[in-house]
Each structure stands twice: as C-alpha cells, then as structure tokens.
Amino acid sequence: MTVKDLQPSQVWKIFDQITKVPRPSGKLDKIRNWLIDFAKEHKLEYKVDEVGNVAMFRPAAPGFENAKGIVVQGHMDMVAEKGAGSKHNFDTDPIETIVDGEWVRANNTTLGADDGMGLAIALAAITDPDLKCGPLEALATVDEETGLTGASNIKADMLQGAYLLNLDSEDDGIITMGCAGGLVTLATYNYKEEAAPADRVYFKFDFEKFHGGHSGTDINAGYASTTKLVGRLLWTIGQELDYVLCSIDSGNLHNAIAHAATAVIGVKSADKEKLAVIFNNFKAEIANEYRHTEKEMEITCESVDKPATMIDSDTAHRVVEALYALPHGVDSMSLEMEDLVETSTNLASVKMREGNTIVVEMFHRSAVESRKMDLCNRCAAIFHLSGANKVVNEGGYQGWEPDYNNHILKVAVDEWEKLYGVKPITNAIHAGLECGLFLKVRPDMDMISYGPTLQYVHSPQERCHIPAVQKGWDFTIAIIKAVAAGK
C-alpha cells in the first residue's frame, strides 16, 4: 500500500505529489513552480507576492455570493533532517513515504507533513467540485520554519477572507487559538587555526541516534540536546585533563532539538586511560539521566589519526564554558493555561564556519514578550562573559494572543462536537504559528489553527496519523459549509 491508496484520496494524492517536490526551507523555487502549475491546471486565479508566497482564489459558488470568505492556509517549506546513514539529498530527492500501520512516515528523514499535509488539505478544499461556499482562498507561505518569512512580509491583498484556517497544528481534537513568539540568538567566536601537536593521541566522540524533535512542542518532553551534551562532555574532560580541541559540530536548525554531535580532541598519551574512565562515567550518567526518553542513543569514543589543525586553546575553552553554562529547555510554565510551557530556549547548534569562526545558535520562545527578551538577554550575557566576538538576534516574531470571543473558534467548536460527539480542546501552544503575523495586517480577521496528529516533527522519526487526516479533512469541510450557511 502507498499513500495514494489512503483516504481521503483527494488529500493523500495531493500530499503524495508534494512529497515528490524538494522543498527545504530557503530553497522553494521548485515547490512554488509546482503550486503555480497546480493553480493553472485547476483554472484558479493566483497571485505570487514579492517574497514568494502563493495565493489561489476560487470565487463564490452561485447563490453563495454573500457568504463570508475563508482562507485555508499552510506553509510550503519543510524541516530537512535525516538520520544517521541516510544519503538523502533534500535539494534533489523526493521524500520516500512508507505506510506503517495507522501511520505514514519517511525513510530515515523528516516526512514533511509539517506542513505538507496542511497544504494538501487546503488544495484539496479549493479544488473540491462538490463544495458549495463563499469565496475560498488557499494560501501557501514561504520559510515558516526558518523565521516565518512569508507571514512576516504578508500584505492584506494576500488574505482575502473574513476567516483564516491555519492548518499547521499537530494534535487531532485540539483547536489552537494562541502561540508563543520567538527569537534567534547567534554568537560568533573567532578562533586561530593552529597546527595540531604531534605529541598527542586523538579521539573522536560521536553522539548518535538521539531523538531530536520540535524545539517548541517537544521542549518539555525530556529529549536531550546533543549540543548541550557535547559541551558538557568537553567541560567534564577539561576539569581533569589537559586536552586540545580540533573540531566540534552539533545540531542543524534553530527550531529542531539537536540529535547528533561530534568532537575531536587530543590528549597526552599518558592520559588515555584516565580519559577512558571519564568518558565511561559520563556515558553511564547520561544513560541514566535519559533512560526514559533516549533509549536508542549511542555515545562512542574512537581513536583517530592526528588532524592537521586545532582550535586555539583559549577560544576552545571559552566556547566549551559557554556551552556548559547556557540553558536549554523549559524556563517557565504558564500560570494561565495548565501544562503549557510559557518560556523556553533551545541550545540548537554549534558549528565551525568559514573564516575560522565558531557559531552557536539558540532559539528562545515565550508567550510573554518581556520574558522572551529577558531570556535572550541572559543568554547574551553568558556569550559576552565567555568572550564571544559578536552576538546578534534575528528572526524575531510576535506571539498570538488568545481571543475567546473569536467567532470562527465558536463555529469550529460546534462543528467538531456535531461530527464527533465531544467538545474539542481549545488551547494555546508553545510553538510559532503565522497567525499573529497575519493579524498585523488583518486585525479584523478571526483565526484558528488545527491539523491532524503528527508526531516527532522536525526529526527523522516524524510521522502522520492516517485516521486523523480523514477527521481533519471532514472538519475543514464542515467549517466551510457552516460559514456558507451563515453560521
């Protein structure tokens, strides 16, 4: 069985087409062209704005000219993460989808159901020949995953409706009406490249098969950040041994919890046995601490040949001190909504870049703007104390304040109860959604966010629950029909 054989067929067939188009964040020409071709094929008016967002417009059905318009929206980019051993090239290769019981997953890569499935539902709705309603728009935004670029630059003419259905949430039976804001911090250290000493023996540490996950919705799940762990290991070694650091690498994306890391160090020959003891103790500690959430993790140490160069010891020391001191995880919980993370940070990555620089990236989230900035400033203080050459913030976006008087929320709650016999959960989430940015240009627009159940998004374990897609599709059609009926 393939995804094209699943129900609702119109949604899964479009999703299958989307998975065949490479669309990592920042490289969206192919999916944009595919969307334009889709609009032309279905004889839909379309518009592409200056940042590359694509909107498709379907006029009201005869007799529904006075019904309020609806925008059904998703983002076109996906997080490009792959597991150990994968040779997948996100710039050229289609996603290999696998039907696994009640779930669809990919072959050791992210699936891209975040938000390819939302986009598929939107496109299926706007091309449904049996749907009688007022004006309908399908909006596909760019680079949501790397700073909400499309939503940040949206203009009112790309949002032609009274209501917006954002299809970028990940829990069946939950309607979202608020979200956290976010901000990226980048700290740069300039280092001197020096010849690696010949009188040392060299070892490589690998952190593999860690869970990873979404840096917002999974930040309280107890998954380890390998960026945090590699810093902790090097700091621990440095308390007892004189070592040189030749290379360090962990994580990839600011909105993904780092799931792999590596570092190469050199120690004196006489310290080999002591290093083995330190490493084995560290490994046992981590296995115990994360025994509930990282059951597949692997931490290894192997002897390697002498590298040509090393990072100067002063810079290496300062970077490691910063990695060990910087926070990762939940900073505070909401006092207004039960079990909701209010403020958090993701110690996302540490990378050696061109020009002899080391860059540490963090991503801060909060539903309270002042607390987001406070956390950001505290981390900046650590970077400054550790002698970072440059600390900048970028990609900031505001949150979406919950509105309990939201009319489309009331309609959606009623329709869910009619369909499934229970009231849906309404909440806010600790993740970034585009709705708050849409409200900047359309403050009169009522919005909600929902979607079928996705698990382990932003990681190679990402999967989509098949029955929830049917429910999400039926729910979307029910909302559109309710609005068309004047509710």
Residue 444 structure tokens: 């009169």
The per-residue pLDDT for range 28-58, each reduced to its tens digit, is: 999 999 999 999 999 999 999 999 999 999 9
Least trusted range by pLDDT, from 71-80, 161-170, 336-345, 467-476: 336-345
Domain with CATH 3.40.630.10 in the chain: 3-180+399-484
Give me 171's structure tokens: 């829990």
In this prediction, residue 396 carries a pLDDT of 83
> How many CB atoms lie under 10 A from the CB of residue 341?
23
**pLDDT for position 398:** 82
Asked if residues 467 and 218 have their Cβ atoms less than 8 Å apart, the reply is no
Catalytic residue among 144, 170, 294, 462: 144
Radius of gyration of the chain (CA): 24
The Cα–Cα gap between 486 and 480 comes to 10
Instruction: Report the relative pairing of strands 136-141 and 70-75 from DSSP bridges.
Output: parallel
pLDDT-derived band at 286 (thresholds 50, 70, 90) equals very high
Q: Annotated catalytic residue: which of 16, 77, 143, 446?
A: 77
The overall average pLDDT reported for the chain is: 96
Q: What local confidence, expressed as pLDDT, does residue 272 receive?
A: 96
Residue 401 has what pLDDT? Answer: 80
Render pLDDT for 115-126 as a digit per residue (tens, 0 to 9). Answer: 999 999 999 999
Mean pLDDT (whole number) for 366-384: 95
Out of 146-150, 304-308, 331-335, least confident range: 146-150
Q: What is the mean pLDDT of residues 229-233?
A: 98
Confidence of residue 399 (pLDDT cuts 50, 70, 90): confident
Ranges in the chain annotated CATH 3.30.70.360: 183-397
Q: Is the pLDDT of residue 397 over 90?
A: no
- Is residue 335's pLDDT more than 90? no
Q: With 0-12 CB in 10 A as exposed, 13-18 as middle and 19+ as buried, what is 206?
A: middle
Ramachandran sector of residue 5 (left: φ over 0; alpha: ψ -120 to 50; beta: rest):
alpha
Whether the Cβ atoms of residue 256 and residue 24 lie closer than 8 Å to each other: no
Q: Given a cut of 90, is residue 156 above it in pLDDT?
A: yes
Q: At what angle do helices 29-41 and 9-19 cross, to 10 degrees?
A: 140
Residue 215 DSSP label:
T
Residue 196 above 90 pLDDT?
yes
Q: Which pLDDT value is given to residue 369?
A: 87
**pLDDT digits 0-9 by tens, 86-116:** 999 999 999 999 999 999 999 999 999 999 9
pLDDT of 337 reads 81
Structure tokens belonging to residue 193: 């490249």
Distance CA 77, CA 144 (A): 7
pLDDT of residue 432: 79
Beta pairing partners, 391: 187
> Which region among 146-155, 194-203, 308-317 has the lowest average model confidence (pLDDT)?
146-155
> Is 139 a residue whose pLDDT tops 90?
yes
For the cut 90, the answer to whether the pLDDT of residue 339 exceeds it is no
Q: In this structure, which CATH number among 3.40.630.10, 3.30.2350.10, 3.40.50.300, 3.40.50.2000 belongs to the domain 3-180+399-484?
A: 3.40.630.10
What is the band of 164 on the pLDDT scale with cuts at 50, 70, 90? very high
Contact 107, 94 (CB under 8 A): no
Q: Note whether 54 and 46 are within 8 A (CB).
A: yes
Share of the chain above pLDDT 70, in %: 100
In sequence order, what E strands does 279-384 have? 298-304, 309-311, 329-333, 341-353, 357-366
144 catalytic? Reply is: yes
Classified as helix, coil or strand, 476 is helix
Helix and strand counts by DSSP (H, E) for the chain: 11, 25
| Terminal C-alpha separation, the chain | 40
Condensed to tens digits (0 to 9), the pLDDT of residues 206-224 reads 999 999 999 998 999 999 9
pLDDT band for 338, please (50, 70, 90 cuts). confident
pLDDT at 121 (0 to 100):
98
Q: pLDDT tier at 329 (50, 70, 90 boundaries)?
A: very high
Fold of domain 183-397: Alpha-Beta Plaits (3.30.70)
Question: Is 77 one of the annotated active-site residues of the chain?
Answer: yes
d(CA 71, CA 67): 13
